[in-house]
Amino acid sequence: MNYIGMDVHKRFTYAVVKDWQGNELAKQRFDNSEANFESFLKQFAPEQTKVVMESTGVWQYIYEILERMNYNIKLANPVKTKAIAYAKVKTDAVDASMLADLLRANLVAESYVPTKEIRNLREITRLRKVALKQSNQAMNRLHALLTRKGIFLPKKSLCKTSINFLLKETEKEPAIKGYMEVIDFHKKKLAEIDKQIFEIAEKNAQAQLLMTIPGISGIRAITLIAEIGEVNRFPTADKLCSYSGLVSSVHQSGSTLYFGRLMQQASKTLKHVLIQTAWTNTRLLESNPVKEHYKKLEQKKGKQKAICAAARKLCTIVYAVLKKQEKCRYS
């Protein structure tokens, strides 16, 4: 069996090949292109070769190249691959060689590799997140400009009344017109993306199940599916809650046990969606387990801790719906 460690960079890759005894068979630096990967790997048969590379910002298209070539690929978690991070001599050759050794010893801490469908869903949901952020930034800059100019809107938000008011001001202040055009562009783009997401949600069976949970629309359902991926990779609901960053960090030494703040190493997007949905549940008129859990803890723990606990409760409901493939029904 051949073991190949690849230190992947934006423009190039450094690869080291070793046999089962750790003897170095080949090493080479080459530019990232499908032809170069094929040229380097042609002497190593896919059925007799394993490949490992770290999960960096450029892993996806290289992974897809190797996948098309039918190689067995492992994606290493860079945070957990401490052997490389703690190396005294750190070069591309050392990193690639160390990855090959970890693969040979079956000590690679693997990262989850989502399916092609999930990767596509992540692209569109994250595009929406960027478009929404840029729209909010443009609105904030417009409000700042109006404040500097001493112009006060009839309403606090950019509603129809405020927009009509600003249209009269654009003759005096050209910059206002520019910001309004930018905001209008982002609104149209967001509407296009939302329409695309809703169309996906209508055809997605898992999204339809998630939308039976109060507070979850098509956009939130698709975002949850994109960030969770395959729910079967989480053996329990607690594991999903941990992945979402909704459990406390634990510090233990001897007989001392201390529970700290919520875990920072988590899916921030997933955590945000669950917390926002939990807030929606607390404002619903009808009673539901998430709302009742929040009200139970609000007076004792405060709003922030209570909403995090409610979001964790919601996370367990999401897990149950996806795991059992059943509609949400509160007893």
Which of residues 75, 104, 133 is at a domain's end? Answer: 104
Q: Is 230 a member of any domain?
A: yes
Which of residues 156, 172, 203 is at a domain's end? Answer: 203
pLDDT of res. 29 = 93
The stretch 174-193 carries a mean pLDDT of: 89
Are 267 and 228 in the same domain?
A: yes
Q: Is 212 a member of any domain?
A: no
DSSP state letter for 110: B
- SS3 call for 289: helix
Contacts of 175 (CB under 8 A, 6+ apart): 145
The answer to whether 206 touches 323, Cβ cutoff 8 Å, is no
- At 123, list the tokens: 């692209």
pLDDT of res. 86 = 64
Q: Is 302 a member of any domain?
A: yes
Are 189 and 246 in the same domain?
A: no
Count other Cβ atoms within 10 Å, centred on residue 173. Answer: 15
User: Is residue 82's pLDDT more than 90?
Assistant: no
Best CA proximity match to 51, nearest among 12, 93, 9, 104:
104
Best CA proximity match to 62, nearest among 109, 17, 28, 12:
12
The dihedrals phi and psi of 125, each to the nearest 5 degrees, come to: -70, -35
**Any idea what the CATH number is for the domain that residue 15 is in?**
3.30.420.140
Which of residues 203, 236, 253 is at a domain's end? Answer: 203
Are 223 and 317 in the same domain?
A: yes
Q: How many domains does the chain have?
A: 3
- SS3 call for 313: helix
pLDDT of res. 252 = 59
pLDDT of res. 180 = 86
| Parent domain of 28 | 2-104
DSSP state letter for 46: G
Q: Is 87 a member of any domain?
A: yes
Q: Is 213 a member of any domain?
A: no
Window from 92-96, 169-173, 265-269 with minimum mean pLDDT: 169-173
Are 60 and 132 in the same domain?
A: no
